[in-house]
A and B are shown apart, each in its own frame.
Chain A
Amino acid sequence: MNAIEVQALGKKYPGFELRDVTFALPEGCIMGLVGENGAGKSTLIRLIMGAAGANSGQARVLGADVGGPDFTKIKDEIGVVLDEAHFPASLNARQIGRVMEDTYTRWDGGVYEAYLKRLDLPEKKRVQDFSRGMRMKLALACALSHEARLLVLDEPTGGLDPLMRDEILDILEDFTRREDRSVLISSHIVSDLEKLCDYIAFLHKGELLLFEEKDRLLEEYAMVKLPEQDLADLPPEAVRGVRRGRYGAEALVKRDGVRGELALEKPTLEDIIVFFARGDRE
């Protein structure tokens, strides 16, 4: 079963369009959604969660049609963390816990309290007095305390220091130890996603340029450094992106599309994303 299935999904706003997005995230997998600011990551997440209606296409989450009558019930099995905690600032963690207890049918107060302790979050301090990192941890504690089968996180690590980001990534890794749990996480910090994800989706200017298993992606592509005049010798269909510099050129190529004698280097996920975007620009 797929945790998320999206078929030709589209949404138009004045000055922006999300076009024809199609992918399927198998249950038990972690998908990283990468893209620059304004690429459409949050829009896609809003569509997947039914917070906005699509102009075209369809989405199914945990087997239910988004926008269908049963989807509100399905949300009971989804944990959500947005780029900010978005809880009323005058409430404290204990009050938010009580609200969530009435919200989710499988809320576990013990698990929530354990997360508050593990994450060093005071129960009686108002959210308005929390740092950004503490707010994100509180949102995460809420998302993880109701036996969710799917976590949807929109830029949860943005603006956080490396230590805090690492702590959050550790928690997400813990969450996915059970095989039936899936995660969709958007970020523009590619290194975070490289550590965590099974699948990578790259959204660029409202278009899904890439959706692939991370390991396959890293195997499929390679970096090649060569003099600029030799670029013309590369088969155009194998080249995905090019960067020209003072001392030569770099290209992201498909391994099986180029001659064996070229010195190919293993790319990082960030290389792949950057060169895909450059290729698109050129």
Chain B
Amino acid sequence: MKALIRKDLYVLSTQFKLLVLVMVLFSAIPGGLFVPFTFIYATMLPSVSLMSIDEQSKWDSLALMLPYSRRQLVTVKYIMGWLGIAAAMALSVASQALWAAVGVSDLEEGFLAAMCVFAAVALVVQAVIVPVNFRFGFAKGRIVTVAVVAFFGAIVGASIGDGDGFYTILKVTSRIPAPVAPLLAAALCAATIPLSTAGYKKRMEK
């Protein structure tokens, strides 16, 4: 598993610097309005970026012949997704706290709870798009990926465009106990690993 994580980190650092940079920038914009987009990018890490590279380079064909199990090959993409979401959360909290500390912007009440809800939504999105991409491959799976991400992106975009919408989200989500939503979503996401493994096996049989 360590080898697979290392390989994906190398791919991210060599091929997706821009994606990582955009995540950092969105998380760091004062006021936190663009923080949800950081999470959207994080959800795209495992499927849109890493899985597509595996397919393009045919790494997935080679990997099946190396001493990795199918389960490991699938699980690593989930781990990368979770690391991405954790990084999005850490970056967002750290940068918004920093802006608040230096007086550039205020840290809105319920910001942390909102981060947890964003993380939960990102995990649910992953639970949908990762199994689809494993079953049908990136070329077909990206249609579902784009549709799901666009759906959530549109909701976030509309709420920001509405002006007060983002702050309404903060108010509503602040009522949800912070760790509950992401933990439930993480459990749901992890529960789809066997589904992804079965889908991956079926696709790679062809």
Contacts and interface: CB of A to CB of B under 8 A. Distances in A.
Contacts of B151: none
A89 interface: yes
A76 B65 CA distance: 10
B61 to A, nearest CB: 6
Contact of A102 (B3, B64, B201): B3
Interface in A120-170: 126, 152
A51 B10 contact: no
B62 A80 contact: yes
Contacts of B6: 98-99, 102
Interface string B47-59: 0000001101111
A52 B61 contact: no
A82 interface: yes
A75 interface: yes
Contacts of A50: 64-65
B11 interface: yes
B53 A51 contact: no
B70 to A, nearest CB: 9
A88 B67 contact: no
Interface in B18-66: 53-54, 56-59, 61-62, 64-66
B204 interface: yes
A50 B205 CA distance: 10
Contact of B53 (A13, A84, A88): A88
B206 interface: yes
Contacts of A76: 67
Contact of B3 (A13, A73, A86, A100): A100
Q: How large is the interface on B (under 10, 10 to 19, 20 to 34, 35 or more residues)?
A: 20 to 34
B69 interface: yes
B17 to A, nearest CB: 10
B168 interface: no
B69 A52 contact: no
A86 B11 contact: no
Contacts of A51: 61, 64-65, 204
B59 A88 contact: yes
Contacts of A100: 3
Nearest to A51: B64
A52 B61 CA distance: 10
Nearest to A45: B65
Contacts of B66: 75, 80, 103
Contacts of B206: 13
A89 B58 CA distance: 10
23 contacts: A51-B61, A51-B64, A51-B65, A72-B67, A75-B66, A76-B67, A78-B65, A80-B66, A82-B58, A82-B62, A87-B59, A88-B15, A91-B7, A91-B10, A98-B6, A99-B3, A100-B3, A101-B3, A102-B2, A102-B3, A103-B66, A104-B67, A126-B14
Interface of A: 13, 46, 49-53, 72-73, 75-76, 78, 80, 82, 84, 86-91, 95, 98-104, 126, 152
Shortest 8 CB-CB contacts between residues of A and residues of B: A102-B3, A86-B62, A51-B64, A90-B14, A75-B67, A103-B3, A90-B15, A49-B65
Given A88-B53, A90-B14, A103-B66, 8 more contacts: A53-B205, A82-B61, A86-B61, A86-B62, A87-B59, A90-B10, A91-B11, A99-B6
